[in-house]
Amino acid sequence: MPNIKPFRAFVYEDRCIKKINRLVCPPYDVVSSQARDALVQKDPHNFIRVELPSGDPETRYQDAAQIWTQWNDTGVLKRGDVPAYYVYEVTFKSQKDARTLVRRGFFAALETVPWGDGVFPHEKTLPTARADRFSLFKALKAQTSPIQLLVRDASGKIESLVKAQTKGRPRLSFRDDSGVTHRFWVWKKGPSTLALEKWMKKFPCAIADGHHRYETSLAYGQWARRQKGDFLPASRYVMAFFSSSDDQGLEVLPTHRAVPWEKRSFVNLEKWGVLEPVSGLKALLPLMEGKKGEDLQTVGVFRNGTYYRYRFNKVPASLRGTPRAALAVTCLHAGPLKGLGKEDFFFTRRPEDAVSHAQKTKGWAFFLAPNTVKEILDVATAGEVMPPKSTYFYPKIPSGLVSHALAGEL
């Protein structure tokens, strides 16, 4: 089962806390080039400068390392004196129904192990993103953004231990430009952390977000053991954020997709289901908001100006007898769209953008319902994976709250 330890995190120095909302940034994989430029203009110490290096591919990672070293040397960033866990709470409006939700969890150093040894993936990954993070890890000898994991703790013990730490004054509290409130506490070693470590050994975990970073951390640890230098023990651990799978603040949003007409030889809807015309995009909103009803195997489709509800009438043989058989996204990729790779899709969280792309390319747009946390865990712990971009956990954890050393002591 997962082996966690406290660690000495890099955080923004106390004098920076008053402007922390100008310093943290979204994780690298959701930031466009335009958004990156805006973040750099926001503040010269915005974390995007190390989280997502830009410029010459030959030098950008070393440029980020120079900035990282400078910020540590000049006190913009500081590293904790003693290992600790770190509690994080986010309060936000649901993107589905505007309810106020609260999600809590904690940051820890997680020992990297092969998939299935207490840590499970739920999505496929691609080598390009892993290569980018590996280059950054080697240049900085640090991990700048956490992975996110779900702990299947039906007892509620871990959740109660975390919640107890939020009674004191947080080290920082801020509201971002999207109206999301973030709060952060340092959880020092003591009886409560010993209880946490004990309970964590009882339950498997599934990665919610950060598959590439986990695989990169595993590869980095293997690389570090072959090098001469002071890499151990930190290089054997990845910085991770854990929350209970029963946390009511876990919101999973769908990622919609479009396929261009030039890929028409791979699109075979009639073989696997039935298209039923509907009045428009609004008719598909209940599906996209997670109100699936009795039929879980339903997808919204747009093609040639018409919207459809697409119902599967058979399950691909490769999915039968598995948890994936009940999920529309896995049926879609294993059946009607089999043979298409990630690079063949346009992905977006906005259904309108999927429609625009389908119109522009004379192709198809596909609208999905969000998968539930239970569905994700069932797939992951069965040792299976879903297609890329099957889940989007909202809101994302900002990069810059905590960073993790990848060399020396934890």
Q: What are the residues facing 195 on neighbouring strands?
A: none
Domain match, 222 and 319 both: no
How does 133-163 read in b/e, with b if 16+ C-beta sit within 10 Å? bbbbbebbbbbbbbbbbbbbbeeebbbebbe
The DSSP letter of residue 201 is: T
Residues in the chain, overall count: 410
Residue 382 belongs to a domain: no
CA geometry: angle 24, 205, 375, nearest 5 deg: 95
DSSP strand pairing (205-209 vs 119-120): parallel
pLDDT number for residue 292: 60
- Give the DSSP letter of residue 77: E
Average pLDDT over residues 121-146: 90
Tell me, yes or no, whether 222 and 280 share the same domain. no
13-27, 98-112, 126-140, 232-246: segment of lowest average pLDDT: 126-140
Separation CA 220–CA 217 (nearest Å) = 5
Token digits of residue 79: 């590293």
Alpha-carbon radius of gyration of the chain: 22
Q: How many domains does the chain have?
A: 2
> pLDDT tens across 71-87, in order?
999 999 999 999 999 99
Residues 217 and 274 grouped into a single domain: no
Regarding whether 149 and 92 lie in a shared domain, the answer is yes
Same domain, 199 and 336: no
Query: pLDDT (tens digit, 9 = 90+) per residue, 382-402?
Result: 999 999 899 999 999 999 999
- Kindly state the average pLDDT of the residues 345-357: 97
Confidence of residue 128 (pLDDT cuts 50, 70, 90): confident
29-64 residue pLDDT tens: 999 999 999 999 999 999 999 999 999 999 999 999
Q: Using one digit for the tens of pLDDT, what is the confidence trace for 259-290?
A: 999 999 999 999 999 999 999 999 999 999 98
Share of the chain above pLDDT 70, in %: 99
Q: Which residue has the tokens 């540590």?
A: 72
pLDDT of residue 325: 94
Local confidence band at 295 (pLDDT 50, 70, 90 cut-offs): low
pLDDT of residue 366: 98
Take residue 109 and report the two structure tokens written for it: 């150093």
Residue 150 lies in a domain: yes
As a whole number of angstroms, the distance between CA 271 and CA 268 comes to 6
The phi and psi torsions of 169 (rounded to 5 degrees) equal -75, 130
- Judgement on whether residues 246 and 263 belong to the same structural domain of the protein: no
* 0.85 exceeded by pTM: yes
For residue 389, how far is the Cα from the chain centroid?
A: 10
261 close to 332: Cβ distance less than 8 angstroms: no
**DSSP category for residue 369:** P
* pLDDT higher than threshold 90 for residue 319: yes
> What tokens appear for 13 in the block?
């120095």
Residues 331, 204 share a domain: no
Helix 127-140 with 211-225: angle, nearest 10 deg? 50
Query: Is the residue at 178 inside a domain?
Result: yes
Looking at residue 104, its pLDDT comes to 97
**Parallel, antiparallel or unpaired: strands 237-244 and 147-151:** parallel
Answer yes or no: do 365 and 261 share one domain. Answer: yes
Asked if residue 261 and residue 243 are part of one domain, the reply reads no
Closest CA to 35 of 179, 140, 178: 178
In a domain, 384, yes or no: no
Identify whether 376 is part of a domain.
Answer: no
User: Residue 293: pLDDT above 70?
Assistant: no
44, part of any domain: yes
Amino acid (1-letter code) at residue 274: V
297 & 234 share domain: no
Query: Cβ(144)–Cβ(51) under 8 Å?
Result: yes
Structural domain harbouring 319: 255-369
**pLDDT of res. 116:** 87
Is 259 in the same domain as 310?
A: yes
Mean pLDDT, residues 329-350 taken together: 96
**Consecutive H or E run containing 367:** strand 364-367
Here the tokens at position 136 are 């950054």
7 bridge partner residues: 84
Q: What is the widest separation between alpha-carbon atoms in the chain? A: 65
Within-domain flag for 386: no
| Confidence band, pLDDT 50/70/90 cuts, at residue 294 | very low
In a domain, 379, yes or no: no
What pLDDT is recorded for position 129?
75
What's the whole-number mean pLDDT along residues 14-38? 95
Q: Do the Cβ atoms of 102 and 90 come closer than 8 Å? A: yes
171 shares a domain with 56: yes
Q: What's the pLDDT at 189? A: 94
Across the range 404-409, mean pLDDT stands at 97
Supply φ then ψ for residue 37, to 5 degrees: -60, -40
CATH of residue 120: 3.90.1530.10
pLDDT at res. 296: 57
